[in-house]
Amino acid sequence: MGLGRRLYRGEIDIDFVGRWKLWYSLSGFLLIISIAGLLINGLNLGVEFKGGSVISFKPAVATTVEDVRTTFRDEGVHQAIVQTTNQRYRITSEDLSEATTAKLQQIIKQKYDVKEQIDVQSIGASWGGEVSHKAWIGLGVFMLAIILYLSMAFEPKMALAAIVALVHDLVITAGIYAWSGFEVTPATLLGFLTILGYSLYDAVVVFDMIKEVTAKLGTTSKQTYSMAANNALSHTLIRSLNTSLVAILPVAAILFIGTTLLGAGTLKDLSLALFVGMIVGTYSSLCVATPLLVTLKEREPKYQAIARRVAAASGGGGKKSGKGPKGSENAAVAKG
């Protein structure tokens, strides 16, 4: 309880900026693993993007996903992806001919005693390519809007740090999809856009506090930019953690309970992106965006002069927590 109260009041100093080598090494490792997954496995694009056939039906007899997959494989359909929701089976595959589709319908109706109509859809590759094209356009417009907003609300260097953090979040989330083999559908893209907005929100909260604290730095300041940034993070840490926890818990329920216990397979396309993205987004706003911002800002002559004056005043005898970006000394957050 004592630790929680101190954390809530911002009385616990965590030197995020001073540990920039640790954060950058961790992020670099995650990015390498994610990029390797994208290069080796690639993304499992849904039929909406690459085109193909979709057959769905509700059997009147007991069956399993493996049994349905075997039925399709016996008819020469070797790329069938079988999903089940509320006892209804949905099979996506490569583009099938009309003759093959008609034969499969007949086999399904007889083998599984289907009473309802068997739904059949054929999605052309050109339509899937159009969806992918529009998705990239939407992502580009979103990124441009973020850059313009942050540049006007804060400054270009904060916009750059936030964009780097967003790309960091996207690549890692995409890498999770590549290694897990989860299907990428339009719902997944919705999840990606949602985590971009969430990551941006967290970064804005942190940067707003940093802007407020560093605005007081002047020729008589006893803090460097690094110290002031850490001070700001200490005061926003509990807010970021609370916001993330409240958001992650329902998403985790959808991902683990909804898809595992209730069999709502269609929800996992959205919930996995949200679950991974929210965790990575919280981490990146604190441990990637802020140290990068400090690196950029401490190159400015104003803050270099402050850092030299603070170092000279301390005489090297002050309490230090290590070297920060570009060699600036980062003390444990000074108060006042």
Condensed to tens digits (0 to 9), the pLDDT of residues 77-131 reads 877 778 777 778 888 887 778 888 888 888 888 888 888 888 888 776 666 667 6
Spatial CB neighbours of 97, under 8 Å, sequence gap ≥ 6 = none
Report the pLDDT averaged over residues 7-31.
79
Residue 288 has pLDDT above 80, yes or no: yes
Report the pLDDT averaged over residues 6-35.
81
10-43+127-331: CATH number: 1.20.1640.10
Residue 2 has pLDDT above 60, yes or no: no
- Please list, residue by residue across 189-213, b when 16 or more beta carbons sit within 10 angstroms of its beta carbon and e when fewer do: bebbbbbbebbbebbbebbebbeeb
Start-end of CATH 3.30.70.3400 domains in the chain? 52-123
Start-end of CATH 1.20.1640.10 domains in the chain? 10-43+127-331
Phi, psi of 80 (to 5 degrees): -75, 130
At residue 232, the pLDDT reads 82
Task: Tokens for 275, please give them.
Answer: 């679950």
Condensed to tens digits (0 to 9), the pLDDT of residues 225-274 reads 888 888 888 777 777 777 778 878 878 777 777 665 555 555 666 778 88
Strand 183-184 and strand 44-45: the pairing is parallel
At residue 40, the pLDDT reads 92
Nearest-CA neighbor of 38 among 128, 217, 173?
173
Which DSSP helix (H) or strand (E) runs through 38? Answer: helix 20-40
At residue 267, the pLDDT reads 67
Mean pLDDT of the chain: 78
Q: What is the DSSP string of 94-148?
A: S---HHHHHHHHHHHHHHTT--SPPEEEEE-HHHHHHHHHHHHHHHHHHHHHHHH
Task: Tokens for 256, please give them.
Answer: 């683990």
On whether the pTM is more than 0.95, the answer is no
Report the pLDDT averaged over residues 209-228.
81
The CA-based diameter of the chain, rounded to the nearest angstrom, is: 87
Given the candidates 3.30.70.3400, 1.10.12.10, 3.30.1300.10, 3.30.70.100, the CATH classification of the domain at 52-123 is 3.30.70.3400
Condensed to tens digits (0 to 9), the pLDDT of residues 41-65 reads 888 877 777 777 888 888 888 888 8
CA separation for the pair 59, 223 (Å, rounded): 70
Helices (H), 181-224: 186-214
